[in-house]
Structure 1
């Protein structure tokens, strides 16, 4: 196993990157209720766990080091590129930043943040008018904000998988699903038949392809 200069122990980068993504998401999500804060807190924990392993301490690399060293004897486990485990496991050559998975991750991240900002704009104005949000992304799916968070999480998992974030991901999916169901019960109580008609024609998470 070859050792170049370690790409870890860069705790300033952990703090800066975590703060950027958390504050950016916060600026659109605007948590107000305890439920909102739990949702945003779980997302923030995922982001922090991700960047801690990306720039701070590579826990996943450490735990898998024996297996990786046996299977990939020439792999420099202390280099930043080695953290892109999908590229290693798929046998990709060259800089992983230009691999298909990494490019796909940028697409998911970009669209996720775009969807989050678009959904928040519609929801904000609907809340100001005390009406049901049914335009923009809400015309295609009932919970675009939660879908946006999932796309962002997937984007990060595509480029930098870790054992902790892979374990957290299904938990977050379950959390967002339960929150969506809870919100729908509240909307049902508030808007009655108007919400029923909206729910009958608008999918919860996955839009109709023919629309």
Structure 2
């Protein structure tokens, strides 16, 4: 290496020079290539707090939806393929970030400003989802399926959007991507594709179930994004 001769020559010119360790600028501290290595310790701890907040919020949302599913109206027919498709999408979303080719999505933790913005978007999305779920009551279904004694719900957020639970879920995923990255990047992509398919499928189902009411309802509401679509 060129460092050794230069150092030895300097010591020969100044024999009293104390030995000092030579640092190469290319040697970085552990973790410097990941998200944690780019943040000071105090900002890193705040970033980790936002990450734990996001995961806790999702756990609470899942518990809420599980409890609310008790006592809903029965589907007129089972749709196991849809249920398994949703489950496999969630599993895939948490496995894909472990592949080296997708390591770029593992950028967390982020700074305080981004963490706060992402957490606020997540909470807003979950609040919309919960509001919509409450409005649906016993008419909710995990799959695209007709219910026994099915009702066309037009109250609450359904007065503006036909599928506000999907809107809230996607909004919560976007906020989680900002804070956590990793699995939520793929969850946003996979659930986005599933939800877009479900929007069309559910609209067709409701049009068959409520031929007199649904056309007018569809004309004065948006499917997923207010004032856009």
TM-score normalised per structure 2 = 0.57
Per-residue CA deviations over 1:170-196 (Å, capped at 9, x if unaligned) read: 232111010111111110011112100
How far 1:145 sits from its partner (Å)? 0.6
Specify the alignment match of 1:37 in structure 2.
Answer: 83
- Cα-Cα RMSD: 3.9
Q: Give the Cα separation in 1 of the matches to 2:67 and 2:209.
A: 26
Secondary structure of 1:188's partner?
A: helix
Specify the alignment match of 1:191 in structure 2.
Answer: 210
Specify the alignment match of 1:179 in structure 2.
Answer: 198
Residue from 23, 30, 42 that aligns with 2:63:
23
Task: Verify the 8 A CA contact 1:22 1:44 in the aligned structure 2.
Answer: no
TM-score normalised per structure 1 = 0.61
Specify the alignment match of 1:132 in structure 2.
Answer: 152
Specify the alignment match of 1:111 in structure 2.
Answer: 124
Q: Give the Cα separation in 1 of the matches to 2:137 and 2:63.
A: 18
Question: Residue 108 and residue 45 in structure 1: after superposition, are their counterparts in 2 closer, same or farther (change >3 A)?
Answer: farther
Question: Residue 208 and residue 143 in structure 1: after superposition, are their counterparts in 2 closer, same or farther (change >3 A)?
Answer: same
Task: Verify the 8 A CA contact 1:141 1:204 in the aligned structure 2.
Answer: yes
Task: Verify the 8 A CA contact 1:140 1:202 in the aligned structure 2.
Answer: yes
Structure 1 residue 2 and structure 2 residue 29: aligned? yes
Q: Give the Cα separation in 2 of the matches to 1:138 and 1:60.
A: 42
Per-residue CA deviations over 1:31-52 (Å, capped at 9, x if unaligned) read: 9753763575367437x729x9
Structure 1: where are the runs of 5+ without partners? 8-12, 65-76, 88-95
Task: Verify the 8 A CA contact 1:28 1:116 in the aligned structure 2.
Answer: no
Secondary structure of 1:203's partner?
A: coil
Specify the alignment match of 2:167 in structure 1.
Answer: 147
Task: Verify the 8 A CA contact 1:140 1:208 in the aligned structure 2.
Answer: no
**Bigger mean CA deviation after superposition, 106-115 or 30-39:** 30-39
Per-residue CA deviations over 1:129-168 (Å, capped at 9, x if unaligned) read: 7321111010111100111110111111011222x54344
Structure 1 residue 83 and structure 2 residue 108: aligned? yes
